[in-house]
C-alpha cells in the first residue's frame, strides 16, 4: 500500500480491525482484491436454470452426429470432431473475456483438457468393462 501513501503505521489500526472480525476481512478481499460481489439470493433460480440448460445443450451437441448417421463408428468420429471444434470455439470465446491476447492458446488449452477428460472417461469405462 506504500504506492498509495499508506505506510505500516497507517495500516496498523485497519489490520487490527480486520483481525477482530475475519468475515469483514474476507468481504473486503472479495470486493476490492478479487472484484467479486456477493451473489444476489433472488437470482438463484435464474442461475440454476441457466447452468442446467447450458449443460443440457452442451451435452446434446456431441450426440447429434449419432442421430444423423446409421454407422456407429462414423457417428463416433463425427461426434469427436464436433466436440473438438466446440471446445476450440468455447475456449477461444472464453479467453476473449479473460485474456484476449492469449485467445488462441485458450482455445487449444480448452480442447486439450477436454481431450484428457475424454481419455480418462474412456479409460475408466474400458477398465470397468474388462472381463478377467
pLDDT one-digit tens code per residue, 5-59? 778 888 888 888 888 888 888 888 888 778 777 778 888 899 999 999 999 999 9
Q: Residue 91: enclosing H or E segment and its boundaries?
A: helix 72-98
Domain boundaries, the chain: 8-33, 62-129
Residues in Cβ contact with 107 at an 8 Å cutoff, skipping those fewer than 6 apart: 87, 88, 89, 91, 92, 95
Cα separation, 115 vs 56, in Å, equals: 20
pLDDT one-digit tens code per residue, 80-114? 999 999 999 999 999 999 999 999 999 999 999 99
Amino acid at each position: 500500500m506504500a504506492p498509495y501513501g499508506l505506510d505500516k503505521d497507517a495500516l496498523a489500526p485497519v489490520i487490527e480491525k480486520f483481525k477482530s472480525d475475519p468475515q469483514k476481512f474476507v468481504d473486503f478481499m472479495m470486493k476490492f482484491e478479487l472484484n467479486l460481489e456477493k451473489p444476489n439470493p433472488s437470482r438463484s433460480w435464474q442461475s440454476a436454470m441457466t447452468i442446467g440448460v447450458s449443460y443440457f445443450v452442451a451435452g446434446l451437441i456431441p450426440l447429434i452426429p449419432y442421430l444423423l448417421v446409421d454407422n456407429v463408428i462414423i457417428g463416433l468420429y463425427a461426434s469427436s470432431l464436433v466436440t473438438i471444434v466446440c471446445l476450440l470455439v468455447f475456449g477461444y470465446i472464453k479467453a476473449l473475456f479473460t485474456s484476449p491476447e492469449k485467445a488462441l492458446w485458450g482455445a487449444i488449452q480448452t480442447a486439450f483438457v477436454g481431450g484428457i477428460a475424454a481419455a480418462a472417461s474412456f479409460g475408466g469405462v474400458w477398465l470397468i468393462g474388462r472381463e478377467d
